[in-house]
Amino acid sequence: ISYLSNLRLRASYGVNGTLPSANFGWRTLTGYSAKYMSQAGGNISSIADPTLTWETSYSSNIALEFGLFSNRISGTVEYFNRDSKDLLQDVPISSVTGFGSTLRNVGEINNRGLEVELGGDIVRKDGLRWSASVNASFIKSSVTKLYSNGTTPAGQDIVWYDPTGGDARAQFIYREGQPTLSFWGYEWAGTNPVNGKNVWYMNNANAGDFQYNGRPATYAYNKASFTLLGTAMPDVYGGLNTDVEYKGITLALNFNYKIGGKLYDGAFKDVADDGYYWERIRAQEYYDNMWTPTNTSGTLPKLDGNDLTDPMQYSSRQLHDASFLRLKNITLAYNLPKTLVNRIGSSNARVYFNGSNLLTFSKYKTADPEVNQYGTRGWETPFGKTYTFGLEFGF
């Protein structure tokens, strides 16, 4: 086949163990900062699990690599599957132990998906070269099995919390057959335009205090039940890259994107709450967008100084569409003529401008949509815009 320049099929299989994120984790089981009558002492800091073992992953993949038209177009299509057993996870435990959580082997998860990459030279003629590439990852991650821990039966749900950051963040649930990063909490129905109150969907066997959007609902969050609120896993994510070169001038653009999934905004809970934090006031943006007798279309409820329950922390009101497209990097450069740079004893020279995070397109406007692996953010500093100018010499 004349147009086929390269074709390769590869496959692999492997087994590897996964250690906990912290080295020498056993050291955290005890502490020596406790004192009694000014004398040095020690104490138990956390509960150990004597049955704890490696998390083991069984990975397989198969890929097809190809090149067309003297490799002006090339790409890869790869399918992978990874089964992880004895999943290591900090899980909540009974408060009668005196501790909040412990590390256990809780179950098994499956990660599988398709990764596609395609690129090539679109134009290559008369000193002009324009190339572009795109990559996309489609990944499904789900809980396949939950173990018994001696006090709970196999298959029982495990509720856990985002381990990143010190601020209160999202609540997740491991449930067999559901996505690994499933948000768990109250389902917020919105603000009632008649009275400005929060409305919660019941999601339980009760008929509800009233019907809202055709579903049983209530104003009292504690009458409702926690439910699955979606997942932090996107439908697809990846990057777009393109660069143009002509007579020593180069322009390169690098984008990254994510489509689908949700993100949890822990800071939004604080700046747009209903009055739980007495020392804080709603940010101006949310104050302007709250319900009032003259603004019945406001999307946030009226302020309630009696709200000391903070039900928003684990609710869908904190969840936002995680989709975004970002210009991650742009570089404009010019290679100075050799007749000029040779005069100063240099073999080559380049003047350039580089910018990072200059443009972001997203429905989520509050902060940075590019979040951590758990799909959450709090008060951490977002990725900032950077501008760099430089002159580069080669000798």
The burial class, CB within 10 Å (0-12 / 13-18 / 19+), for 187 is buried
How much helix, strand and coil, in percent to the nearest 5, is found in the chain? 10, 50, 40
Q: Give the integer Cα–Cα distance in Å for 217 and 202.
A: 5
Q: Within 13 Å, how many C-alpha atoms sit on residue 183's CB side?
A: 26
Tell me how many degrees the CA angle 26-164-161 measures, rounded to the nearest 5. Answer: 85
318-330 pLDDT, tens digit per residue, is 999 999 999 999 9
pLDDT reported for residue 267 = 84
- Beta-carbon-side half-sphere exposure of residue 56 (alpha carbons within 13 Å): 8
Q: How do the pLDDT tens digits run along the chain, 395 residues long?
A: 788 999 999 999 999 987 666 677 777 778 777 777 777 777 787 788 888 888 999 999 999 999 999 889 999 999 999 999 999 888 877 778 778 778 889 999 999 999 999 999 989 888 899 999 999 999 999 999 999 876 778 899 999 888 886 666 789 999 999 999 999 999 999 999 999 999 999 998 878 899 999 999 999 888 899 999 999 999 999 999 999 999 889 999 999 999 999 999 988 877 887 876 555 567 888 888 899 999 999 988 988 765 555 667 789 999 999 999 999 999 999 988 877 777 777 778 889 999 999 999 999 988 899 999 999 988 888 899 999 999 888 77
Assign 386 to helix, strand or coil.
Answer: strand
- Residue 144 in contact with residue 176, Cβ under 8 Å? yes
Q: What percent of the chain has pLDDT over 90?
A: 55
Cα–Cα distance for residue pair 320/328, rounded to 1 Å: 21
Sort strands 376-377 and 262-265 into parallel, antiparallel or unpaired.
Answer: parallel
Q: What is the pLDDT of residue 351?
A: 92
